Structure 1
Amino acid sequence: MITILETSALNTVQDLGRPGYRNLGVGTSGVMDAIALQVGNILLDNQMDDACIELQTYPVVLRFDTAATFAVTGIDATIDLDGRTILPWMVETAAAGQILRIGSPKKGARGCLCIAGGIEVPVVLGSRSTQLRGGFGGLDGRPLEAGDTLKTTGRTLDVAGYGALPPATVLDTVADGDDGRTIALRAMPATDYGLFTPESQQRFWDTPWRITPQSNRVGYRLSGAPLELHHRVELRSYGVIAGIVQVPPAGEPIVQLADANTVGGYPRIATVIEADLWRLAQARIGTRIRFRECSFTEGVAAMRPVNAYLDDLRMMVAHYRTSARCRAGMKSGDKA
């Protein structure tokens, strides 16, 4: 069991999402940075879809009412356990009564507080994710508040002190902008790309779009020179997924994210590839992003380094845990 002592708005319980219900008007939800959650669950020997606390606003302070092994992934932030500084992306074990404090990130935007065994909230439509717009899932369908308690399995690992290299240091992704403050994202031209003027098509790829404060888990609204159509069109509604870049009448794009609408009708100019969605999730308000055109084949191939990174982590964790147990067994034998 853990108790939330201090939290800002919009921190929620999330897992990998709720697929398979978009035809009923139910969005996928789930963590914005799926890689961060998967890394945490691999480190803790969890099921890949075990739920975490997704952190979007800081600081966060909580108490472990029972002993628990945990890891904070997704961000580089100041984290301390009862005054002892601990590192992100590392496995730690807290004793009952210890207090964890997570400060504002120095890098990244969204963290995952993963607990061994996951967060125990009811499964709704196959997922523990919070659906804020629908008001269900997670803890009563709402953000976490001070005083909330969350049930955990009470499982602790016999080995700790190991961790993962953040994906940003490992994955072979397209380079960021020259100024170091622009995030480059690979995207494919979408169904309605041809409806835009050649000048707007080129401007879409050349513009460093700024993420505006009118952004949330539903989508990032971008600011830049408006994009124009050849002529005004009226489209039939179509299915929407995370990564689709829509252009409303004002001409400034919206990138759909984890809580994306299930249907939409604005022209689609591009789609951010799956392999880069985690990078978009870690972009802060005010950050500039630049889209880099890629083909469907290149977009599919871009998942190979991601999958290889996770597979390598699984092997490393298994090797470390086996070696640690062997060393512990040898020491016990020596004492005997």
Structure 2
Amino acid sequence: MSSIKVIAPGLFSTIQDLGRLNYQQYGMPVSGSMDHFAHKIANLLVGNAEDEALIEMTILGGQFEFKADVLVAITGANMSPMINGQLEVGMWRSVRIKKGDRLTFGPAHNGCRTYLAIAGGYEIENTLESKSTYTRGSLGGYKGRTFKKEDEIKLKTHKLKLENLEGRFVRAEHIPTYTSELELNVVLGPQEEAFTAKGIADFFSETFKITNEFDRMGYRLEGKKIEHVNSADIISDGIVSGAVQIPAHGNPIIMLSDCQTTGGYTKIAHVITVDLSKLAQAKAGDVIKFKALDIEEAHQLHRESAEKYEIIKAELDQFQLAPERNMKLKLMHKVFNVKVNEIKTKPL
């Protein structure tokens, strides 16, 4: 069976699918990839189901050696992927990797998390109906943990014709731009009555900075303290990804993929689903501002996002990049080395 070998693991690299959805009632976090949009697109580019497990890398990517010819797609943050330290790998497209090649990643130039999908997927057992890694519980993924040097991850045997999938790409207008200043849409509640009018006004008018305490469980923010009417404590109730807790110290905490299933702090708002992928690419030092929406507006943005996703899926089956060609361009007595990608329309 083919595999990839971990030469260097990166800062925090794990196997993730779209989450462990049926076990929150038992206290088990959902986990799964932080950026669902980048995750789904990476899989579609190589012909996988959108929920297939892949590799998620954070801040600093790893180095991998391939034991077979494969087709890969890299999405999310740009970590300068290179083949054998010489050939740049295009992102948001499907690319052939040959047996023996090494694929290397560096630090993220923008964003925070990068996704590596392989045609056919990784050979990972389901744990509680998911392949996602929950590191705090040493559960799922590859041995329940982040990658280590010399790990070897087996690959599934794929039945796809790689030449029919090679060269798939996402048009530039659909590729997210990751910035250090984010506006996040939120729906107020469910404990908005626990905050003073000034506290709610400050939450929406002030900016907050992500602290160094940020991970897959949640992001701690710092800024203007949000006032409570009385106590920050409540009888514990359910928590989902995107919930914005305000403990007694007044600084918001945004809960994310590995968050606990219940909590006893007041929640002032919830980040809408559409914006969670954008939030997943934020990092320490980035600045957040919150914008209030009602539930109907949130639903409309969700519908628009779903429509855009369907357009991207349709375009993947319509257009294909021809193999890259290296050419020399002479201009004003100067010679430039250029790379040319011809776009071909696939037959219907």
What does 1:66-215 align with in structure 2 at a 5 Å threshold?
66-82=68-84, 83-155=86-158, 157-159=162-164, 160-165=166-171, 169=175, 181-215=180-214
**In the alignment, does 2:61 pair up with 1:55?**
no
Q: Which digits, 9 at most, give the CA deviation of each residue in 1:223-244, with x for residues without a partner?
A: 0121111112541111110000
Give me the TM-score of the superposition, normalised by structure 1: 0.90
1:312 is aligned to 311
How far apart are residue 168 of structure 1 and its match?
A: 6.5
The residue identity in structure 1 corresponding to 2:154 is: K
The residue identity in structure 2 corresponding to 1:224 is: G
Over 3 Å counting, the alpha-carbon distance change for 1:222 and 1:262 in structure 2 is same
1:303 is aligned to 302
The residue identity in structure 2 corresponding to 1:256 is: M
Contact 1:18 1:28 in 2 (8 A): yes
Q: For the residues of structure 2 that align with 1:139 and 1:168, how far apart are their CA atoms?
A: 32
The residue identity in structure 2 corresponding to 1:112 is: Y
How far apart are residue 117 of structure 1 and its match?
A: 1.2
Contact 1:75 1:88 in 2 (8 A): no
The residue identity in structure 2 corresponding to 1:47 is: A
Contact 2:238 2:263 in 1 (8 A): yes
The total of aligned residue pairs comes to 320
Counterpart secondary structure, 1:158: helix
What does 1:232-247 align with in structure 2 at a 5 Å threshold?
232=231, 234-247=233-246
The residue identity in structure 2 corresponding to 1:220 is: Y
Contact 1:68 1:154 in 2 (8 A): no
Over 3 Å counting, the alpha-carbon distance change for 1:234 and 1:185 in structure 2 is closer
Counterpart secondary structure, 2:265: coil
Over 3 Å counting, the alpha-carbon distance change for 1:305 and 1:170 in structure 2 is farther
Contact 1:110 1:282 in 2 (8 A): yes
Over 3 Å counting, the alpha-carbon distance change for 1:234 and 1:79 in structure 2 is closer
Q: Which digits, 9 at most, give the CA deviation of each residue in 1:269-300, with x for residues without a partner?
A: 01000000001000111101100010111111
Over 3 Å counting, the alpha-carbon distance change for 1:231 and 1:145 in structure 2 is same
The residue identity in structure 1 corresponding to 2:170 is: A
Counterpart secondary structure, 2:234: coil
Q: Which digits, 9 at most, give the CA deviation of each residue in 1:97-131, with x for residues without a partner?
A: 00101122222110111111111111011110001
Structure 2 residues not aligned, in runs of 5+: 321-343
How far apart are residue 133 of structure 1 and its match?
A: 1.3
Deviates more, 1:192-201 or 1:74-83: 74-83
Q: Which digits, 9 at most, give the CA deviation of each residue in 1:155-203, with x for residues without a partner?
A: 36113123114686579xxxx9xxx632000001111112111111111
Give me the TM-score of the superposition, normalised by structure 2: 0.87
Structure 1 residues not aligned, in runs of 5+: 328-336
The residue identity in structure 2 corresponding to 1:209 is: F
How far apart are residue 265 of structure 1 and its match?
A: 0.9
Over 3 Å counting, the alpha-carbon distance change for 1:166 and 1:249 in structure 2 is farther
2:34 is aligned to 32
Over 3 Å counting, the alpha-carbon distance change for 1:167 and 1:201 in structure 2 is farther
Q: Which of the residues 12, 15, 29 maps onto 1:13?
A: 15
Over 3 Å counting, the alpha-carbon distance change for 1:55 and 1:204 in structure 2 is same
Counterpart secondary structure, 1:270: strand
1:333 is aligned to none
Q: For the residues of structure 1 that align with 2:290 and 2:173, how far apart are their CA atoms?
A: 20
Deviates more, 1:159-168 or 1:35-44: 159-168
**In the alignment, does 2:218 pair up with 1:219?**
yes
Q: Which runs of 4+ in 1 moved over 6 A?
A: none
Structure number having the greater strand percentage: 2
The residue identity in structure 1 corresponding to 2:189 is: A
Q: For the residues of structure 1 that align with 2:124 and 2:277, how far apart are their CA atoms?
A: 25
